[in-house]
């Protein structure tokens, strides 16, 4: 049977939120909700090969994804972030920088026109 891993800091809450929709989408797969810990890493290195990994680890998503990708057996496994907090913060920071520059240039341009 195919396995889909859902890795989260909030296993029970996430299971309640997305468990049923995932079971409907993948009726022939085992959906496993788990923490990212040594036990999971042991299972992954001992032969557990999921067909999909979903992550909801807050700001640690990118670091965990990078660590999982370092395993040769998982290098081609699709991995999706359910919430991309680290990415969201990066985009917000970049947007604030661009917004500041845009506002500065726009104000300067308006000043020259008046």
Categorize the per-residue pLDDT at 30 as very low, low, confident or very high, splitting at 50, 70 and 90.
Answer: very high
Q: What is the pTM of this model?
A: 0.70
Range 41-57 average pLDDT? 88
- Nearest in space to 65 (alpha carbons), one of 81, 89, 86: 81
12-27 pLDDT tens trace: 988 998 999 999 999 9
Query: Is residue 72 pLDDT above 90, yes or no?
Result: no
């Amino acid at each position: 049977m195919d396995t889909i891993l859902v890795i989260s800091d909030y296993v029970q809450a996430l299971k309640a939120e997305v468990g049923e929709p995932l079971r409907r989408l993948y009726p022939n797969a085992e959906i496993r909700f788990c923490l990212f810990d040594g036990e999971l890493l042991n299972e992954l290195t001992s032969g557990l090969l999921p067909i999909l990994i979903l992550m909801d680890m807050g700001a640690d998503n990118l670091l965990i994804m990078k660590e999982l990708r370092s395993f040769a057996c998982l290098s081609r496994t699709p991995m999706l972030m359910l919430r991309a907090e680290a990415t969201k913060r990066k985009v917000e920071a970049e947007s604030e920088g661009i917004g500041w520059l845009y506002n500065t240039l726009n104000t300067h341009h308006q000043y020259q026109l008046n």
